[in-house]
Chain A
Amino acid sequence: MFPGTTILNYLFWMGMGMMQILVIAGAYEWLKHFKKSVQWWQMVLIYGCFISFSLVVAGGFTLMGEYESQGGWYFIGYLGLPHVIAMAILLKLFVFKKAPV
């Protein structure tokens, strides 16, 4: 990814990994902000959907890197949209659920 260097690639992925701690910690703070709470497995599902969406974006841009620009955008559109819908459903189910009557 970084031609001419031998270390930047590793540093990049280490940084990406470290950012995930901030993503999850931030998610929990937002839950406190909205006075909500989720169980650990629900957070795993929500985070998993986010990571899967990131992989779709990565895949689409990989295709664009291979000069398949149409393929890349279609890939993100057709596979990304279900992720957005799935995330909305998960948030509705686990976070913004209706309080029991």
Chain B
Amino acid sequence: MKNGKTDTGKKDGMSIVSDPANYKKHEMDFNEPQIDEALKPEKSDVSRRNFLKLGGVAAATATVAGAGAAGFKIGRSDDAYTGYGRTYQGGDMFFNREPFRVKTAAMMEPVGKVERPDRYDFIFDRIGEIIGMIQKGVWHPGMGLEKLPGGVGDYYRKHPDKYPIMMDSLQKYGKSREDWKNGKHLRYTLSAAYTEALCQGGMYNRHGATIPEDPDDVFKETGKPIPPEEWDYRHVKREKPMEFKSPQHAAKLIKRMAHLFGTSIVAIGKFDPRFMFTNKMRGMPNGGAEWGGKVPEHWKSIIVFGVPMYWDQTYSAIGYCTSYDAYFRSRVTAGLLERFINELGYPARAQFPGYHYEIMMEPQLLLTGLAEYSRSGMVMVPELGCNVRPAAVVTNIDFEYDQPISVKMSEFCMKCKICAEACPSGAISFEDEPNTVVRGFKRWKLDEEKCYNQWASGQTVDALGCRVCIGVCPYSRKNTWIHTISRELEPRDPTGLVADGLLAMQKNFFRIPKGQDFQSDWLGGKEDVYHNPPWYLRAEEVFEGIEKTWEYHGMS
């Protein structure tokens, strides 16, 4: 068969069937099955596999973006402002100190004979006496050190290197007051108003201290000496004090009340008379110049507490910063707690800033485990760094006492030195270790004359405070998760690698002006700031007539 034809020429049956010309299309053709349209499956544009691939990439991108957004919001969050949010619930005191309790705090082991501080060791008493003498015409700087009378004269003759610095400070004080009077510092109008509101509007009135009451003010009004045996009991009405169930009950209650009265951190310790000034007792003639070394019998326990200065201001020292927001709040706590304890039938005496003390505050913070000592001469609290302004109430209640802590903050200071590098007056020691013996204890000794020299010449409305060291301290940071990681990891790391890493980042990643740059322009400085001031302190953005001749840097 050839070509579908048999040898005889006739067509074969199969070839007839398979010839397309003979093919007739039927309705039910199996090559094209007829299916109901409604049952046809939809064609999907994105398969499940593609969804997972694209979705995975999108989710990864969103994770990184979300992490960044969340981080930024956390950094700006109200919750980050320790001391200004969770205070009344006690939420500011979030660092668990219990794993770090020790018997003796760093730098609190005596290395020599322990001596109590004298009133003239307190620079404000020195300044007060000198200015008082000048105002009364008893002495003036032109008469020289040899003729400077009284205990203050004896002090400067014993430390003659400090005398010229103090005299320079008085001159600079005069110049800076003149500048303010002549309207030079319009730039700082708002921070000045903020400072004065807190100080003159909140802390003091024409009678003296508003809160707490100060026995010196009453002595000035009445002329009658008021010893602590009288003053500390003045509001006690009960025949017998309320008896606590246990020292633990007492401590727990008073700490809770301290938070309710506005403090961020609180601890209680045994009153240590080694850190009580001699010849200093408020309510007595001349501030207790003849008091000697007597320790009131009822000064048994000390409740120590503190609050931070507002964070944004602190970072924009010098001109935009003040101590008074924290001073005012810690004074309120001191006054309220003092009265509360009196109401329970116990004596109480508030020790409060700026200069209403018979005691040195900082050792008490160390002894009670609130803080550790630092290079700058201040104490450092885990929650607040150096940004803490303490006050205290002394009483005779039996408490369960807190113990000191060791969280390696002082060890960090040995390597860090950022505060010393940023100090405008060079008052902070650069020694690697605290080698200066001060009244029996090793310290990094702050040169308070140089420190005050900066205050007197600075841009603040009252020539008080500089606070650069507080703002630049790596521990003085708000409460965000990255600082929490540092705070928790660093004291637990025996190798010191965490501290080294953190310090390397601190020194290389962050812009910190040099000390000279913080100074006033008439001293060759730039009035620079670590952080830009918050908007509500930028007078040029709110008021007419203030020409902006300075620059802000970085993020506003």
Contacts of A26 in B (CB 8 A): 52-57, 59-60
A24 to B531, CA, bound (A): 41
> What per-residue 1/0 map shows which CB atoms of B519-556 lie under 8 Å from chain A?
00000000000011000000000000000000000111
Contacts of A69 in B (CB 8 A): 554-555
Q: Which of A57, A61, A66, A67 contacts B532 (CB 8 A)?
A: A67
Assess whether A22 is interfacial by the CB under 8 Å rule: yes
> What per-residue 1/0 map shows which CB atoms of A11-50 lie under 8 Å from chain B?
0100010011011111111101100000000000000001
Contacts of B510 in A (CB 8 A): 68, 70-71, 74
Q: Are B554 and A29 in contact (CB under 8 A)?
A: no
Q: Which 5 A-B pairs have the closest CB atoms?
A: A26-B56, A65-B75, A61-B71, A69-B555, A58-B71
Contacts of A24 in B (CB 8 A): 56
Interface residues of A, dominant DSSP:
helix
Closest to A25 in B: B52
Assess whether B223 is interfacial by the CB under 8 Å rule: no
A33 to B72, CA, bound (A): 36
Supposing A67-B531, A74-B509, A75-B509 touch, asked if A57 and B75 sit within 8 A by C-beta, the answer is no
Closest to A68 in B: B510
Minimum C-beta distance from B145 to chain A (A): 46
A19 to B57, CA, bound (A): 10
Supposing A64-B72, A69-B554 touch, asked if A59 and B52 sit within 8 A by C-beta, the answer is no
A78 to B504, CA, bound (A): 11
Supposing A30-B53, A67-B531, A70-B511 touch, asked if A59 and B71 sit within 8 A by C-beta, the answer is yes
Assess whether A1 is interfacial by the CB under 8 Å rule: yes
A-binding residues in B (CB < 8 A): 49, 52-60, 62-64, 66-78, 80, 312, 315, 477-478, 480-482, 505, 508-511, 531-532, 554-556
Most buried by A among B62, B511, B555: B555
Supposing A66-B480, A69-B555 touch, asked if A1 and B73 sit within 8 A by C-beta, the answer is yes
24 of the cross-chain contacts (CB-CB < 8 Å) are: A16-B63, A19-B63, A20-B59, A20-B63, A22-B55, A22-B56, A33-B49, A50-B63, A59-B482, A60-B68, A60-B71, A61-B75, A62-B481, A64-B75, A65-B74, A65-B76, A65-B77, A66-B75, A66-B76, A66-B480, A67-B532, A71-B505, A74-B505, A75-B505
A54 to B60, CA, bound (A): 9
Supposing A63-B482, A64-B555, A71-B510 touch, asked if A23 and B63 sit within 8 A by C-beta, the answer is yes
A16 to B68, CA, bound (A): 12
Supposing A29-B52, A63-B482, A78-B509 touch, asked if A1 and B70 sit within 8 A by C-beta, the answer is yes
Q: Are A70 and B52 in contact (CB under 8 A)?
A: no
- Interface residues contributed by chain A, number (CB under 8 Å): 40
Assess whether A55 is interfacial by the CB under 8 Å rule: yes
A69 to B69, CA, bound (A): 14
Supposing A26-B53, A26-B60 touch, asked if A67 and B71 sit within 8 A by C-beta, the answer is no
Q: Are A1 and B74 in contact (CB under 8 A)?
A: yes
Contacts of B70 in A (CB 8 A): 1, 12, 16, 58, 61
Assess whether A100 is interfacial by the CB under 8 Å rule: no
Closest to A64 in B: B72
Minimum C-beta distance from A101 to chain B (A): 31
Closest to A66 in B: B75
A58 to B74, CA, bound (A): 9
A2 to B69, CA, bound (A): 11
A96 to B49, CA, bound (A): 21
Closest to B74 in A: A62
Closest to B506 in A: A71
Q: Which of A12, A25, A64, A68 contacts B56 (CB 8 A)?
A: A25
Minimum C-beta distance from B282 to chain A (A): 40
Contacts of A53 in B (CB 8 A): 64
Q: Are A19 and B73 in contact (CB under 8 A)?
A: no
Q: Which of B53, B73, B554 contacts A33 (CB 8 A)?
A: B53
A30 to B49, CA, bound (A): 9
A2 to B58, CA, bound (A): 23
Most buried by A among B53, B70, B78, B532: B70
Q: Which of B57, B73, B76, B508 contacts A74 (CB 8 A)?
A: B508
15 further A-B pairs in the complex, CB-CB below 8 A; given A65-B72, A65-B75: A1-B73, A12-B70, A22-B56, A22-B59, A26-B53, A29-B53, A50-B60, A54-B63, A59-B482, A61-B70, A66-B480, A67-B312, A67-B315, A67-B531, A74-B509
A1 to B68, CA, bound (A): 12
Minimum C-beta distance from B470 to chain A (A): 16
A12 to B71, CA, bound (A): 13
